[in-house]
Amino acid sequence: METTHRLWQRKLSAIPSLALVLMVALSGCGGQQKPQGGTSAAGGTLVLTGAGSTFAYPLYSKWFDEYRKVAPNLQCNYQAIGSGAGIEQMIAGTIDFGGTDSPMTDAQMAEFKTKRGAGVLHFPVALGAVVPTTNLPGVNAELTFKPEILAGIYLGTITKWNDPALTAANPGVKLPATDIVVVHRSDGSGTTFVWSDYLSKVSPAWKSKIGSANSLSWPAGIGAKGNDGVAGTVRQTPNSIGYVELIYAIQNNLSYGKVVNQGKEAIRADLASVTAAAAGTASSMPADFRVSITNAPGKGAYPISTYTWMLLPDTFADSAKKQALVGFLGWALTSGQEMLAPLSYARLAPEVIAKEQAALQQIH
C-alpha cells in the first residue's frame, strides 16, 4: 500500500485534492461541463464522450492518458458524475459510453432500447473494493467490522464508537464514547449500490427497511457527492465513517477497516482478497455480464467487492466511433490490465476477458 500511496502522491502532487481533478477532463483528454455526444474535431481528431462512475475515475484517467500513445487522434472526455447519472446520460443518448459500478436494471435496459433503438452491453473492465473508512482521533488500530455492525451504523441503531458490538469485535482497542458521524453518498452512485447490495445480503433489517439501489432514503448520516466528496468529508470530520472505493481511502490517507466475510475471516481489502471474491464468477459469468460478487463465499474473499463496467450501445450510427470504442476496450482488456494493480484495482480473470472479447463482436 505504501508503493501505491507514493505513486498517487506523485501523480496528484500538483493538485490540491481529488475533488478538483473531477472538475476537469482526463489527462490527455478535453473536458466539458455537461456530457455531450462525441464529434469529429478539426485535424482528423475523433472526440468521444463518456460519463458515470467516480469509483472507476482513477482507472479511466490512467487508461485514456496511456491510450493517447496508441491512438493519438482520439480525444476522450469523461465526466465523473456518478453511476446513476451516467446511466441516465446513456439512456438519453448524450454520451458515447458510460461507466457504472451497478448493472443497469431490466427496466433501464428496456428504456434504453425504446429511446435509443438499440441494446446496451455491459463490459466488466476491472475489479474493485468498497471500504469502510474512518476518522477516529486517538485510535491508530485497524478496526474490524462485522456485517451486523456496518448495518447497525448505517441504520442508525449503533450510534456510539464504544458500542458493545464494536468493542467486542475490536478487543484491546480503546474506542471513544463519542457519537458516530455517518457519511454517505448524496448522488446516484454505483458505490452506494455495492454498499447497499452487500448490506441487503447480510442484514434482514437493512433489506426490509432500505434495500439496494444507486440512491437511497438514508435513515442516518450526512451526504456528500462522489467518492471524493465522501472521502473529503470523512477526512475533515472527526469520529466519522464513510464508504469509498479503495484508492480514495489510500489517496486521502484515511484509515479503513477489515470486514468479516462469510467464512468469519476478518479481511482487509487488497488485490488478493478482491480477486478471491470474484473467483466464483470466472467460469460462470452470465452472458450479459451483470453479476454481483458482494458477500462472496471463499477463503480470503473481501466481502464488499465488485466489478466495474463500461456501457456501450450494441449499434452505432457512426462507424468511426464504433471502431474507436471497440479498439479502446480491446486494449483495456489486454494491455490495460497491466495498469490496474498500482491503482489498487484487481485484474479480470482470463476466462472473463475471453468472453468479453467474443461479446465485442456483437457491436455493429
Q: What is the CATH number of domain 2-127+308-362?
A: 3.40.190.10
Domain ranges of the chain: 2-127+308-362, 129-281
What's the pTM? 0.89
> Residue 358's CB: how many other CB atoms inside 10 A?
10
Name the more confident of 33 and 294. 294
Rounded to an integer, what distance in angstroms lies between the CA atom of residue 55 and that of residue 310?
Answer: 12
Look at residue 287 and tell me whether its pLDDT is greater than 80: yes
Write the pLDDT tens digit of every residue in 238-257: 999 999 999 999 999 999 99
Write the pLDDT tens digit of every residue in 146-171: 999 999 999 999 999 999 999 999 99
Domains 2-127+308-362 and 129-281 share a fold: yes
What are the Cα distances from residue 168, in Å, to 101, 157, 262?
33, 16, 18
pLDDT band at 43 (very low <50, low <70, confident <90, very high): low
Look at residue 22 and tell me whether its pLDDT is greater than 90: no
Q: Which CATH number, 1.10.10.10, 3.60.10.10, 3.40.190.10, 3.60.15.10, labels domain 129-281?
A: 3.40.190.10
Name the more confident of 125 and 28. 125
pLDDT band at 138 (very low <50, low <70, confident <90, very high): very high
Look at residue 351 and tell me whether its pLDDT is greater than 70: yes
**Per-residue pLDDT averaged across 259-287, rounded?**
96
Looking at residue 44, its pLDDT comes to 82
